[in-house]
A and B are shown apart, each in its own frame.
Chain A
């Protein structure tokens, strides 16, 4: 099955290619859209949700309309493990996984875009590019939006723009975000200062969270806070403009660490490597934390590990991924043992 094939792969957003990919993980844009003739999802009857799902899937669930292979999944007919798996891959939101009623997702086989039906809004279209490439993500999502628009009637107001369930998304309905790996800024404790300056220019910063609420391996997402009164191009520019600044801050912090505490840093990276190769049981939180240190070490020339493999491990050591690869449901204790074994195997293969 399609999902099982995905489990062995890294996913577009963790491919580790593209411009500035040592710091910029991925670029992502999502559009919120609603059909004019139905209530917003929260006020929908079961019948409304079914009708929306049918209407939208009739348009998008046709292979002939897409240049690359796509797959279509009814989330309400899926088991919990598969749902969590799609959340971990960022192909669907936690909200879509956990809500109820008819809802689904269309996934591009290259994982460069997905379309959620009946999330908070009738449609949530997202496009993802590896590295810093918001312009490509915008071209892609704009074309998908044009295609859907040619077949359905979006709710649109001449002054307020695209109408959304939450007034915080109204206007363009667009969220532009870039995910960054900022371990040196975390270590030098400069992150908060940087983030505060971003908030002043209406950009939001969020840590990436894995299972539960634990922050995941020094990954942070920067996105636009407002959606009304600026064009899509302006919103892309606004985020695009601050990313080089963030990259510069992170590089300066890395240089500082190398200059001032090379030995401690090198020790930290080697210890992380040692634990991941030898642990007998390990949580996903600790794994993320240690993988993050190694990733920093590789990018600073302190250790040699294959970056695509590291990127893949960030994903594959998460609970649903691990369980799908092992081929069954596991409790936490068993997962931690399996995770340790999987890490050991991966690092030993890459050392040879």
Chain B
């Protein structure tokens, strides 16, 4: 894909989340930098993923690093950081843990805060980590079915059922 403003390949895919309908931008590195800096400078602008990323670029100006970061994937749901940047939506609860270093400055920029105050679910969410593990198991089971490894699939199914049962009683 080409940059929207020149002939160079678009290596940055930015989703603006300021409106109801997200706007997608495809830009080369140079135009991305210009765009992000502008977005960041606009006063009164509501926080957006783009301006948050601009903050990050300032701290960490190496584009190669961002390209490398884009390849990183969540071990549970499989979403890459590139995909998140592209659509502006995360793939699963575990992404907040596996992309924490990258997300933290973005979150801090959007909310001007990094810690939740207020309501907590019962047990203060203890066990979220164990439960997100089910996302991986279900994904592995589907993959096993796809390659017709039914033995593995049935083993995974039993394991999933076991965890789900435990939960119901717990």
Interface contact A153-B128, CB-CB below 8 Å: yes
| Residues in chain A near residue B142, CB distance under 8 A | 45, 47
| Residues in chain A near residue B138, CB distance under 8 A | 48
Interface contact A37-B47, CB-CB below 8 Å: no
| Residues in chain B near residue A161, CB distance under 8 A | 116, 118, 120
Q: Tell me, yes or no, whether B44 is within 8 Å of chain A by CB.
A: yes
Task: Determine which of B49, B96, B110 lies in contact with A163 in the assembled complex, contact meaning CB atoms within 8 Å.
Answer: B96
Query: Chain A residue with minimal CB distance to B77?
Result: A39
Task: Determine which of A153, A163, A204 lies in contact with B46 in the assembled complex, contact meaning CB atoms within 8 Å.
Answer: A204
Chain A contact patch, size range? 35 or more
- Least Cβ–Cβ distance between A177 and chain B, in angstroms: 13
Tally of B interface residues using CB under 8 Å? 46
Q: Tell me, yes or no, whether A342 is within 8 Å of chain B by CB.
A: no
| Residues in chain B near residue A196, CB distance under 8 A | 44
- Least Cβ–Cβ distance between B114 and chain A, in angstroms: 7
Interface contact A231-B47, CB-CB below 8 Å: no
Task: Determine which of A36, A48, A227 lies in contact with B127 in the assembled complex, contact meaning CB atoms within 8 Å.
Answer: A36
Q: Quick check: which of A18-26, A167-175, A300-308 contacts chain B, the rest being far away? A: A167-175
Interface contact A157-B110, CB-CB below 8 Å: no
Given contact pairs A43-B77, A167-B107, A172-B119, A155 touches B44 in the complex (Cβ within 8 A): no
Task: Determine which of B88, B117, B124 lies in contact with A229 in the assembled complex, contact meaning CB atoms within 8 Å.
Answer: B117
| Residues in chain A near residue B127, CB distance under 8 A | 36, 153
Interface contact A167-B77, CB-CB below 8 Å: no
Interface contact A168-B110, CB-CB below 8 Å: yes
Interface contact B113-A230, CB-CB below 8 Å: yes
Task: Determine which of A149, A160, A171, A227 lies in contact with B122 in the assembled complex, contact meaning CB atoms within 8 Å.
Answer: A149
| Residues in chain B near residue A149, CB distance under 8 A | 121-122
Q: Complex Cα distance A315/B77, Å? A: 42
Q: Tell me, yes or no, whether B69 is within 8 Å of chain A by CB.
A: no
| Residues in chain A near residue B132, CB distance under 8 A | 36-37, 155
- Least Cβ–Cβ distance between A45 and chain B, in angstroms: 7
Interface contact B89-A166, CB-CB below 8 Å: yes
Query: Chain A residue with minimal CB distance to B107?
Result: A167
Q: Tell me, yes or no, whether B93 is within 8 Å of chain A by CB.
A: yes
Task: Determine which of B76, B89, B121 lies in contact with A156 in the assembled complex, contact meaning CB atoms within 8 Å.
Answer: B121
Interface contact A229-B112, CB-CB below 8 Å: yes
| Residues in chain B near residue A278, CB distance under 8 A | none
Interface contact B118-A231, CB-CB below 8 Å: yes
> How many pairs of residues, A versus B, come closer than 8 Å at their CB atoms?
150
Task: Determine which of A48, A142, A166, A225 lies in contact with B88 in the assembled complex, contact meaning CB atoms within 8 Å.
Answer: A166
Q: Tell me, yes or no, whether A120 is within 8 Å of chain B by CB.
A: yes
Interface contact B128-A160, CB-CB below 8 Å: no
| Residues in chain A near residue B77, CB distance under 8 A | 39-40, 43
| Residues in chain B near residue A172, CB distance under 8 A | 116, 118-119
| Residues in chain A near residue B131, CB distance under 8 A | 35-37, 153, 155
Q: Complex Cα distance A201/B118, Å? A: 20
Task: Determine which of B76, B92, B119 lies in contact with A231 in the assembled complex, contact meaning CB atoms within 8 Å.
Answer: B119
Q: Tell me, yes or no, whether B87 is within 8 Å of chain A by CB.
A: yes
Task: Determine which of B110, B125, B134 lies in contact with A37 in the assembled complex, contact meaning CB atoms within 8 Å.
Answer: B134
Q: Tell me, yes or no, whether B144 is within 8 Å of chain A by CB.
A: no
Interface contact A155-B107, CB-CB below 8 Å: no
| Residues in chain A near residue B107, CB distance under 8 A | 160, 167, 170, 228
- Least Cβ–Cβ distance between B31 and chain A, in angstroms: 24
Interface contact B111-A153, CB-CB below 8 Å: no
Interface contact A43-B79, CB-CB below 8 Å: yes
Interface contact A232-B118, CB-CB below 8 Å: yes
| Residues in chain B near residue A171, CB distance under 8 A | 111, 113, 116, 118
Q: Mark B126-163, 1 if CB is under 8 A from A, else 0.
A: 01100110110010001000000000000000000000
| Residues in chain B near residue A34, CB distance under 8 A | 93
- Least Cβ–Cβ distance between A160 and chain B, in angstroms: 5
Query: Chain A residue with minimal CB distance to B83?
Result: A43
| Besides A168-B110, A226-B113, 12 other A-B contacts (C-beta < 8 A) | A36-B93, A37-B131, A149-B121, A153-B128, A154-B125, A155-B125, A166-B89, A206-B20, A226-B112, A227-B111, A228-B114, A229-B116
In the assembled complex, 19 residue pairs joining A and B whose CB atoms fall closer than 8 Å, in A order, are: A36-B93, A37-B132, A38-B92, A39-B91, A39-B92, A145-B119, A153-B131, A155-B93, A156-B120, A156-B124, A157-B93, A157-B96, A160-B96, A163-B93, A163-B128, A168-B17, A199-B44, A200-B44, A226-B111
